[in-house]
Structure 1
Amino acid sequence: MAKRFETLSDGLRDWIERQHIFFTATAAPSGRVNISPRPTTSFRVLGPNQAAYLDRTGSGNETAAHIRQLNRITIMFCAVEGPPSILRLFGTAEVLSRGSAAYEDLLASAYGGEEPSGARQIVRIDFDLVQTSCGYGVPLFDYQNERASLENWSNAKSAEELEAYQRLNNQTSLDGFPSGMFEDS
């Protein structure tokens, strides 16, 4: 039932755009494996073997810390409405720090220069394997809307308060690996 592709076709790209959630999976050589949900509103396909997502401030920063240790990543989309399907992108990733030239260039080209409140980095992914599978085990859900919680939380904070939160919660992983935030400051 699973199919493998070397690149992302236009049809699969269109399918991704209709989804509402994706998951990132990363791991360092030791310690815990991390899986994080993300809204597809932050995801961009940049080419047949490249994608990115704009990452916002969260309770931790496991993905960035793991990528610094071992840059492997898997992105997974699951259809929770309509026909069942799962799509995975297997590859490597790089974290583009907020304010860096690479971040600013990608923000301009892929996000129209629009930076949501609480933005902290962009994760750029180079993938060499696209895999689809049946998704028969994924339950059906009715999409209602995006949650406003993160937007409301970050909008209620000043730039200084967001930075203080990031310094306290986003500089190391659960296993103590550095995320790379604030290394140049």
Structure 2
Amino acid sequence: MGNFFTSIKTNHRSFIEKQHLFFVSTAPLTSEGHINLSPKGLDCFRVLSDNKVAYMDLIGSGNETSAHLLANGKVTFMFCSFDAAPLILRLYGKGSVILPTSEEWASYASHFTIYPSTRQIIVADIDLVQTSCGFGIPQFEYKGERDIHFEWADKKGEDGLAEYIKEKNLVSLDGLPTNLGLLQE
């Protein structure tokens, strides 16, 4: 059975800061669409306060999180310990998308290393934290980050990244608009 908290405690923050991988889950407003679950890495997650978190989001093959946050705002983050001490930690909340053109961009961007392929920052107000044992999670050894995304982005260049966003990031898998898509209208 899990333990529940109404805010991120010091030990939760410490655990989150040690993780190299986390998962983001969102869903469209109706049961007709697809639930999205995305792994994230690259030191892009920050605990901003006891009830606010953010992560820097890089250009990818889709933009489901943005579309789903526009539709209903609900977001869940999950962190798993893959080392000796097992633990699963989930953060539940309401999220929003901060784009480079947003007034809030500078204040949130200051928490991250911003890359040419950074497309947005996802911010979430957390109202529930859950921890559970994680006894069934296997142990893995962290070997390092991959450079593939950055090599791909460098090869694309600024114009190529802009074109890729137009092609792949303006609507969700289910045809829902993303924040980036609304900018194009």
Asked whether the two chains share a fold, i.e. TM above 0.5, the reply is yes
Confirm or deny that 1:41 pairs with 2:43.
Answer: yes
Superimposed CA distance per residue, residues 158-185 of structure 1 (whole angstroms, 9 cap, x where no aligned partner): 2111000000000011100001205335
Paired with 1:117 and 1:144, the residues of 2 have a C-alpha distance of 25
State the distance in 2 between where 1:86 and 1:40 align: 19
The one-letter code of the counterpart of 2:3 is K
Q: Percent identity?
A: 39
Q: Contact 1:22–1:40 at 8 Å: present in 2 too?
A: no
State whether residues 24 and 76 of structure 2, in contact with CA within 8 Å, keep that contact through their aligned partners in structure 1: yes
Q: Which residue among 103, 106, 111 is the counterpart of 1:104? A: 106
Kept after mapping to 2: 8 A contact 1:9/1:48: yes
Q: Which amino acid aligns with 1:158?
A: G
| Structure 1 residue ranges, 4+ long, deviating more than 6 angstroms after superposition | none
Matches within 5 A, 1:1-185: 1-30=1-30, 31-39=33-41, 41-108=43-110, 110-111=111-112, 114-185=113-184
Greater shift after overlay, 118-127 or 135-144?
135-144
CA-based RMSD: 1.2
- Residue 82 of structure 1 and its aligned partner are, at CA, apart by 2.0
1:17–1:40 Cα contact (<8 Å) kept: no
Is 2:67–2:177's contact at 8 Å kept on the other side of the alignment? yes
Q: Does the 8 A contact of 1:64 with 1:95 survive in 2?
A: yes
Is the Cα contact below 8 Å between 2:171 and 2:181 reproduced in 1? no
Unaligned runs of 5+ in 2: none
User: Does the CA contact (< 8 Å) of 2:20 and 2:42 recur in 1?
Assistant: yes
CA contact (8 A) 2:42 2:145 kept: no
Displacement of 1:117: 2.6
SS in 1 for 2:14: helix
Residues 127 and 40 of structure 1, relative CA distance in 2, 3 Å threshold: farther
By how many angstroms is 1:79 displaced?
A: 0.5
Question: What is the identity, as a one-letter code, of the residue corresponding to 2:15?
Answer: W
Whether the 8 Å CA contact 1:56–1:118 is kept in 2: the answer is yes
Deviation at 1:40, TM superposition (A): 5.6
For residues 35 and 45 of structure 2, the distance between their equivalents in structure 1, rounded to whole angstroms, comes to: 22
Give the whole-Å Cα distance in 2 for the aligned partners of 1:154 and 1:27. 28
> Where in structure 1 are there 5+ consecutive unaligned residues?
none
